[in-house]
Amino acid sequence: MIKAATNNSPSGELWIKNENDIVYARGAVREAAIQLGFGQTDVTRIVTAASELARNTFKYAGEGVIRWGRVETGSRMGLQLQFVDRGPGIQDIDLAMQDGFSTSGGLGKGLSGSKRLMDDFEIESTAGHGTTVTLTKWRANW
Amino acid sequence: MNTQTNLPGSADQSPHPSEQDGITRELLQLLVDNLRDYAIILLDPKGCVLTWNNAAQRLKGWTAEEIIGQHFSLFYPTEDAQSGKTDMELAAATREGRFEDEGWRVRKDGTRFWANVVITALRDKDGKLHGFGKVTRDLSERRLAEEKIKKQAQEIFEMAVVPVVQIWDGVVLVPLIGTLDSQRTEQLMERLLQRVAEAGSSVALLDITGVPTIDTQTAQHLIETISAVRLMGADVVLTGVRPSIAQTLVHLGIDLSSVTTRSSLASGLRMALDLLKVSVRSTVSEQ
Amino acid sequence: MDRKPGNNNISVIRVRDVLIVTMPPEPDDSVINALQESVLNAMERHESQAVLLDISSVEIFDSFFARTVSETAQMVRVMGGRTIIVGMRPAVAITATQIGLALGNVETALNVDRAFDLAATRPKPEKHDKSSHE
């Protein structure tokens, strides 16, 4: 279920259980990014990053949840995305973050690409327990 | 909704309100209840909420039951609440009779809105302070309008700063002047690509005659811009590469082997026209 | 025409010795997976010399999409054809460059007209990987 977004505080949560959910995730994140006033290129970046990680979640862990919401520090405002799964986890994060790395065909650029597209990037993963990826894009001119 | 009140005893005990006064009071109450754009509330001398109205609930989120008795610093962002801003405001209102401010306020759900706030000290005939009236107005719309104007001004500025000029059928020229930082490069990329798409330009001349120095980051940005233009299906010729820049690029180890460069704009233009001719010529010969 | 263009369908049209393959605006994974088969089947049937992949409606081009396109282009090459990506949007081009997507075996064109011009010329020699990140 997607939580309804309010005008100044687009936020929500979405379970990823099948391939279609990747599409929903893109749509929901796009809505949020637009509501927060990001320009077209940044919206594309954010949605692309979300697409990469939503697919990673589905392909590696089978299922997981994506949460998104507005974040604000004293002087900055941005959109934060978080991908959480209880999948197999990543054995070697550094290796996984290397460009082009892939253990299951075709997903090598997902993590490193998303990191490039967003501003802040944090990943926690324990083998056998799951993975949490948190990314933030800050608004320029706010 | 009926506004709940918690007045500490009526200030005016005599004479008893006549029927007319009663009706007027009711009308006044109706006004406060139904006013849509102004949150009108009463605070006690310490700043705790005494009354609430519909607009206040709509604007700030709390219901009367939830908020009456709480301190009004709840409405402020944490940094303001902690810095003693609310005490300062009450003190100013006490001193001057009123205090007006524009700033961020916080709703029950934590979101912020830009507000205009007037706090009025309420005294009886003897000058005794009974509390404060607080009128809050949501200026978010105005702020949005201001942001929009700022954005438009920014766009106009960007156009002046990163000009993209169509100089020939299928050729655009970007005469860069000054240094390229991350933000400018972002603007450059967006404008250039947009123009290339709109004008259907096959070739973009990126002229850096007016770029005094080039560092690794700027060079990387240029290369990214060129890659992006190529991905779209157009070509880029980097022109105006002066000897000093050429030296810097080599010293920095920047690989421009995949980039077509020309030292002068003129030769760059010639190159561009050649590139255009090639596609036309081949189509003709194929017939 | 091999397939009617619908909301989420790939349309494949043959014009002389060229295939025009048009992607829908928001292709999900199943559509992207279908791309390869559609293209190769059409290549087999028509023996086209070039595949024009029109992505001018596409707003999100992630690494999965890119990889599928790249693989498909390799297969098209093996079957004797060229692949030309047509109409990549500015925001997509910027994002793809930033990720460092390697499209390898494909050429690009601004629109279908230019793509036809390009297809009529001799193919350029093998290009290096387009990725520009060290």
Residue C6: Cβ-neighbour burial (10 angstroms; 0-12, 13-18, 19+) = exposed
pLDDT at B43: 95
pLDDT average, residue stretch B118-142: 91
Flag whether pLDDT at C86 surpasses 60.
yes
Third-level CATH fold of B162-276: Transcription Regulator spoIIAA (3.30.750)
pLDDT at C18: 97
Flag whether pLDDT at C131 surpasses 60.
no
**Nearest chain A residue to B114, by CA:** A8
Instruction: Name the minimum distance, in Å, from the CA of C16 to any CA of chain A.
Output: 34
pLDDT band at C51 (very low <50, low <70, confident <90, very high): very high
pLDDT at B107: 92
* B256 in C contact zone (CB under 8 Å): no
What is the rounded distance in angstroms from the CA atom of residue B43 to the CA atom of residue B119?
Answer: 9
C86 φ/ψ angles, rounded to the nearest 5 degrees: -115, 130
B252-263 in b/e burial notation, b at 16+ Cβ within 10 A?
eebebeebbbbb
**Nearest chain C residue to A19, by CA:** C29
**Nearest chain C residue to A56, by CA:** C64
What are the residues of chain C with a beta carbon less than 8 Å away from any beta carbon of chain B? 85-90, 93-94, 96-98, 103, 108-111, 114-115, 117-118, 120-122, 128, 130, 132
Instruction: Name the minimum distance, in Å, from the CA of A137 to any CA of chain C.
Output: 14
Residue A122: both structure tokens together: 């944090």
Residue B102: both structure tokens together: 């524009």
User: Could you tell me which residue, C10 or C104, shows the higher pLDDT?
Assistant: C10
- Beta strands B260-262 and B235-239, pairing class: parallel
pLDDT band at C125 (very low <50, low <70, confident <90, very high): low
User: Could you tell me which residue, A57 or B273, shows the higher pLDDT?
Assistant: A57
Q: Are C100 and A113 spatial neighbours (Cβ–Cβ below 8 Å)?
A: yes
pLDDT average, residue stretch A59-84: 93
Q: Domain C11-120 in CATH: superfamily?
A: STAS domain (3.30.750.24)
Inter-chain contact C120–B283, Cβ cutoff 8 Å?
yes
Chain A residues touching C59 at Cβ < 8 A:
44, 47
pLDDT at B285: 41
Domain assignments of chain A as residue spans, ordered by start: 12-138
Chain B residues touching C115 at Cβ < 8 A:
233
Inter-chain contact C95–A44, Cβ cutoff 8 Å?
yes
Model pLDDT for residues A27-49, shown as the tens digit of each residue: 999 999 999 999 999 999 999 99
C29-38 in b/e burial notation, b at 16+ Cβ within 10 A?
bebbebbeeb
Size of interface A-B (CB pairs under 8 A): 21
Least trusted range by pLDDT, from B93-97, B131-135, B215-219, B268-272: B215-219
CA C34 vs. chain centroid, Å, equals 13
What's the mean per-residue pLDDT of chain B? 83
pLDDT band at B282 (very low <50, low <70, confident <90, very high): very low
Give the residue among B151, B153, B75 at the shortest CA–CA distance from B114.
B75
Alpha helix locations (H) across A59-119? 93-97, 109-117
pLDDT at A71: 94
Flag whether pLDDT at C68 surpasses 80.
yes
Model pLDDT for residues A89-122, shown as the tens digit of each residue: 888 888 788 766 554 444 456 888 999 999 999 9
In this complex, the residue of A23, A47, A109 whose CB is nearest that of residue C63 is: A109
pLDDT at C126: 54
Domain assignments of chain C as residue spans, ordered by start: 11-120
**Nearest chain A residue to C60, by CA:** A48
User: Could you tell me which residue, B260 or B119, shows the higher pLDDT?
Assistant: B119
3-state DSSP of B161-213:
HCCCEEEECCEEEEEEECCCCHHHHHHHHHHHHHHHHHHCCCEEEEEEEECCC
What is the rounded distance in angstroms from the CA atom of residue B86 to the CA atom of residue B103?
Answer: 12
In this complex, the residue of B194, B258, B279 whose CB is nearest that of residue C90 is: B194
Inter-chain contact C120–B194, Cβ cutoff 8 Å?
no
Please give the share of chain A, as a percent, with pLDDT higher than 70: 85
Residue B242: both structure tokens together: 């002066």
User: What CATH number does domain B19-144 carry, 3.30.450.20, 3.20.20.10, 3.40.50.720, 3.30.500.10?
Assistant: 3.30.450.20
| Domain A12-138: top CATH class | alpha beta
CATH 3.30.450.20 placement within chain B: 19-144
Q: Which of residues 80-109 of B touch C (CB under 8 A)?
A: none
* A73 in B contact zone (CB under 8 Å): no
pLDDT band at B248 (very low <50, low <70, confident <90, very high): confident
Give Cβ neighbours of residue C81 (< 8 Å, ≥ 6 apart): C19, C43, C48, C49, C50, C51
* A6 in B contact zone (CB under 8 Å): yes
Flag whether pLDDT at B3 surpasses 70.
no
Question: Cis omega before residue B45 (within 30°)?
Answer: no
Inter-chain contact C99–A117, Cβ cutoff 8 Å?
yes
Please give the share of chain A, as a percent, with pLDDT higher than 90: 64
pLDDT at B9: 47
Give Cβ neighbours of residue C107 (< 8 Å, ≥ 6 apart): C82, C83, C84, C85, C118, C123, C124
pLDDT average, residue stretch C106-118: 93
Residue B114: both structure tokens together: 């830009």
pLDDT average, residue stretch C90-116: 89
Model pLDDT for residues B59-103, shown as the tens digit of each residue: 999 999 999 999 999 999 988 888 889 999 999 999 999 999 988
ipTM metric: 0.85
Q: Are A108 and C100 spatial neighbours (Cβ–Cβ below 8 Å)?
A: no
